[in-house]
Amino acid sequence: MKYIYFMLALSHLHSYPMAQSRLELAQSTIEAYFQHHAVRVFTPNAVATILAEHRSAWHLAKGMTLRDFIAYFSDLGLLTRLDFPFPYRAESRYVWGQVPLLEVLLTLKPGAYFSHATAMRLHRLTERLPGTIYVNHEQRPQAKNPHLEQRNIDAAFQRRPRMSQNAVDLGNVRVCLVNGMHTNQLGVIGTRLAYDGSTPAQVRVTSVERTLIDIAVRPAYAGGVAEVSRAFALARERADAERIADLLHKLGYVYPYHQAIGYYLDRAGYPIAAVDLFRRQGLEFDFYLAHEMRDRRYIKEWRLYVPQEFA
C-alpha cells in the first residue's frame, strides 16, 4: 500500500516536468501556428479553445493545464496578458508578440472603432495628445421621438452632458468605452494610422467628416468647444461639406445639430457654398453649442448660444 502511494506521489511530482518537456518539443510548431494566425490578440477563452483543439496534434501531455501553457510562453516573452478592469465588466486579453495598443483595444467589443478625441488625433485634427482613448461600440437600434419643442431643448442643454463612466486607467492613458448611438457603422473606415508618433496601427475609426459631426454633437468627448472649433479649422482643406451634410442627414438626429455644424464651418472660414448647405436646413429653434454653458452669448445668424469667450 505504501508502495502504491509512493508511486502516485512520484507521478504527481513529475507531471509538470513531463508536460514541460513535450511543450519544449512542440515549441517551434506552436510558435509557427501563432505567428501565422489571422489575429494576434486573444481572449482567455480563445486561448483555451486553441489548446483544446490542438493538444493532440501538438502531442501535449493530458496533464498540462491552460495555466502551464500560458506560463510557458509568457516566460519566453511571446505571450503577454493585458487586464482592463472596467467597472461594468472587466476584460483580459492575451497578445502574441508585439501588437500596438490601439489594435488590442479594438478587440474589447465587437465592431468597436475609435471616435471623438481619439479620431481627432488619428486624423491630425488636434495638436494635443488627448489623455483618454475613446473606443465606441454601438447600441442596438432604438426608437426616436421626432417631436421637438423649444422648452425641451432648453431643459436638456441646461443639464450636464451624459458621459460614459466605463473607463479604466492604463499607466498614463485612460481608456473609455462609449456606448454610442446605433449608426450601422456609418462613416467608419479601416485604415493604417499612427496615434502618438509610434508605429502606425491598423485601426477602425470615424472618417474626418463623421468625426466632425461626432465632436460637434459631443464636445465633452473632444476637449470642449474650443478644441472642436480648432478641429474644423484644421480639417478645412480635407473635409467635404457635402459629405458632412449627407452623413448628418443619415444619422437622423432629432436636435438641430446642423446649426452648430454650420456655425463651426462659418467660423473656420469654409466657402459660403459649404456653409449654406447647413443654413438652408432651417433655423426653427434656438440651439446650444454645448451643455451647461454658464456665460454665453447669442448668435442671431444661427439662432445659437455659444460660450461668451467665442469672439
Q: How many CB atoms lie within 10 A of CB 22?
A: 17
Query: In this model, does residue 26 exceed pLDDT 50?
Result: yes
Determine the average pLDDT of the residues in 14-39: 82
Closest among 102, 125, 248 to 181, alpha carbons compared: 248
Give the whole-angstrom CA distance, residue 9 versus residue 213. Answer: 67
Give the whole-angstrom CA distance, residue 154 versus residue 286. Answer: 8
What SS3 class is residue 160? Answer: coil
Predicted model pTM: 0.89
In contact, 100 and 199? CB cutoff 8 Å: yes
Percent of the chain with pLDDT over 70: 93
Residue 3, all three cell numbers? 508502495
> Domain spans of the chain?
15-86+91-96, 101-307
pLDDT digits (tens, 9 = 90+) for 240-296: 999 999 999 999 999 999 999 999 999 999 999 999 999 999 999 999 999 999 899
In contact, 303 and 257? CB cutoff 8 Å: no
Determine the average pLDDT of the residues in 50-65: 94
Tell me the pLDDT of the chain averaged across its residues.
92
Give the whole-angstrom CA distance, residue 271 versus residue 274. Answer: 5
Query: Is residue 179 very low, low, confident or very high in pLDDT (cuts 50, 70, 90)?
Result: very high
The pLDDT value recorded for residue 143 is 79
The pLDDT value recorded for residue 176 is 98
Determine the average pLDDT of the residues in 147-168: 95
Please report, for residues 70, 157, 268, 295, 306, the alpha-carbon distance to residue 310 in angstroms, rounded to integers and kept in the order given: 56, 18, 12, 10, 7
pLDDT digits (tens, 9 = 90+) for 201-210: 999 999 999 9
In contact, 152 and 169? CB cutoff 8 Å: no
pLDDT digits (tens, 9 = 90+) for 210-239: 999 999 999 999 999 999 999 999 999 999
Percent of the chain with pLDDT over 90: 85
pLDDT digits (tens, 9 = 90+) for 67-111: 999 999 999 999 999 999 999 999 999 999 999 999 999 999 999
Residue 115, all three cell numbers? 471616435
